[in-house]
Amino acid sequence: MKVIVCDPISQTGIDFLRQQDGLETVVLDRCHSEEELLPIVKDVSAMAVRSETKVTKAVLEAAPGMRIVGRAGVGVDNIDIEAATQNGVIVMNTPGGNTIATCELTFSMMMALARNIPQAHGSMTTGEWNRKAFKGVELYGKTLGILGMGRIGGEVARRAVAFGMRVLAFDPYITPSRAKALQVELASLDDIYEVADFITVHMPLTDETRGMLNKETFEKMKPSVRLLNCARGGIVSEPDLLEALQTGRIGGAALDVYEAEPLADDSPLRQCPNLILTPHLGASTIEAQDNVGLEVAQGIADYLLHGSLMNSINMPSLDAQTSAKVQPYLRLGERMGLLLARLGQAATERLVITYGGLATNLPGDPIARAIIKGFLGAAEGEEVNLVNVRSMAKERGLIVEEIKSSEQVDFREWLHIRAWAGDEKVSVGGSFFGMAQHPRIVRLNSQPVEIVPEGILFMMTNKDRPGIVGHLGTVLGKHDVNIANMSLGRDREGGQALTALNIDSVPSTDCLAELEADPDISHIRIVKF
């Protein structure tokens, strides 16, 4: 499998990739345009990029064997996530590698803001000695508002507490227990705007966060507040920030990221005396670059060689241990989904997936993806994969519901799928037999069965009468079809029965016609797993 390194990453990461058996690593000598990349990516399995290379829809479509794009860094603005998902390509980043670097830059910027260090330095280089002009403030006893309490926000909080600051945190997803452990107070945005002496942003750029710090929010802040953004450009409205700084609406600001990068030479931000600017230095330390280079290399190798996945943008992340536990369910789930599709339910509107027994302890999303892949793949073929199944289901109006049930079941591990079309439903139940986790279909609709979901499966509905199994065997034998396994079920004596056979070859048209001529046989289906 070929891996191309498109942008400069650490030699440590490159060496790691080159040491992996099964991987061929090619390091490009420079950043390539979209047009230049098209012939290069046609036979690659993975790309490692930073921010320079643009992974566009055209690039992704030109790489039929592409499985993963790894971003050495956090931001993935240069990667078309939607196109990657549609093409079954995983996108991963390295959020942990630059955590300390970005945290320390943020804290350095906050200290520089507090003590006017850049301005004082500039004054000294021109021959001035003006102590009175650069009187600052202490961090001790001040209130810091942190917007976003992920890895970086948490590290900033730890350092602020050590400096004797009161820390207010806004993050809809942080738990009270984690807040307590970090010695921070959870607060609303308005509360932070009202009382904070410093505000630092550590949130991703989304539709919700774009321009969230603007003229309206600046009006809610103290005139002395100092604002920092070392996260993503665009969260702070630059025109509104400039106006607030020029009019004294806020006391100062420090930016490491911008709405458009690089910052234009003639940007008015460059002329603002109470604004500190750095050229996107968040991850620019020797240690961080080494860390993210190695992290992206390990992420790519772990996925290509072992199937484990961490820090994925468009797929659930699984460590190696969890991946090993989930893999049998992926195989079972995909085969159950395929079987369900072949049961003849037209215009399915809803899939209901129930996890029971030990299955409730596993992450459901990858298993659900495998089930949907099997179900949709029966009609869509190779276009469906684990990455794009969710979006494909949504496009087709297929609703997928997942339930983790605590009800007692007959099996240690249990999967059950119901497919609804209006008020009509069909269902399949699956489990594992033995320590080797051999997958089995154990229920079709309401009937218990024991079907091995492998090879070629022959299913028929028939009247429960003496001799019908012998008749079936005779007809199949007449047409040179060998039976490998057999499962029989019935609702009652003399009622409807279900016969399922694993066979070694697909019955001919003549063979099927002969069976269907029997008035007691109906609904013959052939499923290839």
Residue with tokens 């983790």: 404
**In sequence order, which ranges of 440-506 are alpha helices (DSSP H)?**
468-478
Residue with tokens 């039929």: 64
Q: Which helix (H) or strand (E) holds 499?
A: strand 496-503
pLDDT at 448: 87
Confidence of residue 475 (pLDDT cuts 50, 70, 90): very high
Are the C-beta atoms of 45 and 25 separated by less than 8 Å? no
pLDDT greater than 60 at residue 436: no
Query: In whole numbers, what is the pLDDT of the chain averaged over residues?
Result: 91
Q: Judge residue 207's burial from the number of C-beta atoms within 10 Å of its C-beta, 0-12 exposed, 13-18 middle, 19 or more buried.
A: exposed
Residue with tokens 């012939």: 39
Least confident of 157-171, 224-238, 327-341, 429-443: 429-443
pLDDT at 234: 95
pLDDT at 314: 82
Q: For residues 164-169, give the mean pLDDT.
A: 98
Q: How does pLDDT run across 339-358, given as a tens digit for each residue?
A: 988 886 667 888 999 999 88
Least confident of 92-96, 161-165, 297-301: 92-96
Tell me the range of 426-430, 477-481, 518-522 where mean pLDDT is highest: 477-481
Which residues form the catalytic set?
Answer: 232, 261, 280
Counting residues of the chain whose pLDDT is more than 70, the rounded percentage is: 97
pLDDT greater than 60 at residue 481: yes
Confidence of residue 174 (pLDDT cuts 50, 70, 90): confident
pLDDT greater than 90 at residue 522: no
pLDDT greater than 70 at residue 403: yes
Are the C-beta atoms of 199 and 147 separated by less than 8 Å? yes
Confidence of residue 82 (pLDDT cuts 50, 70, 90): confident
Q: Judge residue 273's burial from the number of C-beta atoms within 10 Å of its C-beta, 0-12 exposed, 13-18 middle, 19 or more buried.
A: exposed
Q: For residues 250-264, give the mean pLDDT.
A: 96
CA 142 – CA 165 distance, rounded (Å): 5
pLDDT at 440: 92
pTM above 0.75, yes or no: no
Are the C-beta atoms of 230 and 109 separated by less than 8 Å? yes
Confidence of residue 16 (pLDDT cuts 50, 70, 90): very high
Q: How does pLDDT run across 277-324, given as a tens digit for each residue?
A: 999 999 889 999 899 999 999 999 999 998 888 888 887 777 777 878
pLDDT greater than 70 at residue 148: yes
Residue with tokens 């489990």: 431
Q: Which helix (H) or strand (E) holds 68?
A: strand 68-71
Read off the tokens for 392: 């494909």
Nearest CA-CA partner of 425 in 336, 528, 340, 364? 340
Q: How does pLDDT run across 360-380, given as a tens digit for each residue?
A: 988 888 899 889 988 887 655
Q: How does pLDDT run across 20-32, given as a tens digit for each residue?
A: 999 999 999 999 9
Q: For residues 413-417, give the mean pLDDT.
A: 92
Confidence of residue 56 (pLDDT cuts 50, 70, 90): very high
3-state per-residue secondary structure call for 211-257: CCECHHHHCCCCCCCEEEECCCCCCECHHHHHHHHHHCCCCEEEECC
CA 369 – CA 347 distance, rounded (Å): 20
Least confident of 124-133, 210-219, 426-435, 460-469: 426-435
pLDDT at 406: 82
Counting residues of the chain whose pLDDT is more than 90, the rounded percentage is: 66
pLDDT greater than 60 at residue 446: yes
Confidence of residue 248 (pLDDT cuts 50, 70, 90): very high
pLDDT greater than 60 at residue 259: yes
pLDDT at 378: 64
Least confident of 37-51, 185-199, 314-328, 369-383: 369-383
More confident residue, 225 or 424: 225
Q: For residues 256-272, give the mean pLDDT.
A: 96
Phi and psi at residue 47, in whole multiples of 5°? -125, 140
Q: Could you give all domains of the chain from N- to C-terminal order, each with its CATH number?
A: 2-96+287-306 (3.40.50.720), 99-277 (3.40.50.720), 318-423 (3.30.1330.90), 454-529 (3.30.70.260)
